[in-house]
Amino acid sequence: MSHTNLAHRRTHNLLLISKLLNQRDHASPFTLVLDTLEQSANPLVREYLRRSRLSKTTTIFLSFETFVKPRNVDYFIECYGETQTPERIARAVTEILGKGGSRRYLIIIDSLTTLASISINPSSNLNLTAFLSSLLQPPIQKQSTELSQEPPQISLVAVYHTDIPLPATSTSAAPYSPSPLSLLSYLATTIITVHSLSTLLAEKAAHARSLGAPVFGLAEGVEGVVIGLKPRATVKAEERGVVLELEHRRKSGRGVLEWYFLPTGSKSQQAFTGPQAFREIITLLDDHPLFRKPKDEDTSDQELSGMTFELGLTDRQRLEREGVVLPYFDAQKAGGGGEGGRILYDMGVEDDFDEEEDEI
C-alpha cells in the first residue's frame, strides 16, 4: 500500500473509531463485542466508560456477571438472580430513561451469553430481538410541551463470550431458527472482536518462519486446559494493550474492516485532566512498533498492489533464496551485455570428440 493510501486510511479509520467509542452522531446504535477467555473485553468496556464520562453521557450498566459497580457508571442494575426477569430489567431501564436530564445514554451489557442461553430454551418466552429493541426505544413523552424536544440518543454495547457453549436444545421446536450469535451479528451495526496482543505476536513470528500458527486455550484440545500459557510479552509498558478487529456497517450498506490497537499500559490508564484527557490513544495496528512494516517492504507492496495473488516471501524463504547457486553462473558475467546467450559445456572423458568431424 502506498504512503498516500496509508495516510488516507489512517485518517479516515481513526476518525471512525473515535466516533464509535465516543458515541458521536449516534454512529452505532448496537455494538456487539466478541471476546474469549484468552482476551477479555473489560479493557474496551473501561474505555467506553471513560469516554462517556468525558462526553457527559449517562451510562446504564446491566450486570449479569459483575458484582462490583465499575468506575464511571451512573446507574448499576443487578440482573442476576431468579427474581430478575428480562421484563423487570427492561422496565428498570425504561424508568431511568424516563427521568430525563441527559441527551445521550449508553447501555452496557456485560454478558449477552446469559440472555442467549435463556432465549433458546423452548419453555422461555424471551425474544432476544424484542428485548434489545425495547432497550433502544426512547421513553414516551408524557407532557405535550415535551413533544417538540428531540428524543435522546440511546446506544447499546453488549459483550458476548464466544467460547462459552450454549445448552443443547432439540431442533424440533424451531429447526430453521438461527443461532443467537448469528442473530446478534445480523442485528449489530458494529462488531468488535477483541484479540490478545501476545497471541497475534506468536502467530506473526510463526508466519515469518513458514510454520503453522500456534493455538492457545480451548483451541489446543488438551483436557483441562482452559486458558493457554502464552509467551511472555517483551514489549514496553506503553506498547502493551489489546487488539480490536472492527467491522462497521454504514447506513449505505458499505462495510469497513480495520484492525486497531488500544493501549492498556500504566500511562494510558491514568486519569488525565484538562486537554490530556481528550487525547486520542487508539492507533492502527499497522502503526504499532511490532507490526510496522519496514520501508523496503512498503515499496515492494506498492509495486505489487494490483496483484490478485501473493508474490511476497517470508523471512525463511528469503534466506533460502540467498543460498541458491545457479549453474553456469559465469555465463552471465563474461563479456557483459549485448553478446547474446551462450552455453558453457565442460567436456568429459566419456564424450567422443573428433576434431576432423567437427571441422566438416
Q: Is residue 354 part of a domain?
A: yes
Kindly state whether residues 201 and 249 are assigned to the same domain: yes
Question: For every one of its 360 residues, what pLDDT tens digit does the chain have, with 9 covering 90 and above?
Answer: 555 577 778 888 999 999 999 988 888 899 999 999 889 999 999 999 999 999 889 999 999 999 999 999 999 999 888 788 888 999 999 999 888 778 899 999 999 998 998 888 878 888 899 999 999 887 665 544 454 567 888 999 999 999 888 887 655 566 778 889 999 999 999 999 999 888 888 888 888 888 888 888 787 777 777 787 766 656 677 678 899 999 998 877 788 899 999 998 655 455 555 556 667 889 999 888 888 776 655 555 556 566 666 667 777 787 788 777 665 555 555 555 555 556 666 677 667 666 666 555
Its domain, for residue 349, covers 325-359
Kindly state whether residues 156 and 27 are assigned to the same domain: yes
Four-residue CA torsion sign, 113, 75, 51, 29: positive
Kindly state whether residues 227 and 263 are assigned to the same domain: yes
Q: What pLDDT score does 145 carry?
A: 47
Kindly state whether residues 230 and 284 are assigned to the same domain: yes
Q: Is residue 314 part of a domain?
A: no
Q: What pLDDT score does 264 carry?
A: 85
Kindly state whether residues 203 and 333 are assigned to the same domain: no
Kindly state whether residues 16 and 113 are assigned to the same domain: yes
Kindly state whether residues 85 and 222 are assigned to the same domain: yes
Q: Is residue 172 part of a domain?
A: no
CATH of the domain at 274: 3.40.50.300
Q: Is residue 228 part of a domain?
A: yes
Place of cell 484538562: 274
Q: What pLDDT score does 110 carry?
A: 92
The 3-class SS string of the chain reads: CCHHHHHHHHHHHHHHHHHHHHCHHHCCCEEEEEECCCCCCHHHHHHHHHHHHHCCCEEEEEECCCCCCCCCCCEEEECCCCCCCHHHHHHHHHHHHHHCCCCEEEEEECCCHHHHHHHCCCCCCCCHHHHHHHHHCCCCCCCHHHCCCCCCEEEEEEEEECCCCCCCCCCCCCCCCCCHHHHHHHHCCEEEEEEEHHHHHHHHHHHHCCCCCCCCHHHHCCCCCCCCCCCCCCCCHHHCEEEEEEEEECCCCCEEEEEEEEECCCCCCCCCCHHHHHCCCCEEHHHCCCCCCCHHHHHHHHHCCCCCCCCCCCHHHHHHHHCCCCCCHHHHCCCCCCCCCCCCCCCCCCCCCCHHHHHC
Kindly state whether residues 258 and 331 are assigned to the same domain: no
Neighbours of 94 (CB within 10 A): 15
Kindly state whether residues 234 and 293 are assigned to the same domain: yes
Q: Is residue 313 part of a domain?
A: no
Q: Is residue 317 part of a domain?
A: no
* Rounded Cα–Cα distance for residues 144 and 167 (Å): 48
Q: Is residue 145 part of a domain?
A: no
Give me the number of domains the chain comprises.
2
Kindly state whether residues 187 and 70 are assigned to the same domain: yes
Kindly state whether residues 277 and 340 are assigned to the same domain: no
Kindly state whether residues 289 and 346 are assigned to the same domain: no
Q: Is residue 195 part of a domain?
A: yes
Q: What pLDDT score does 144 carry?
A: 42
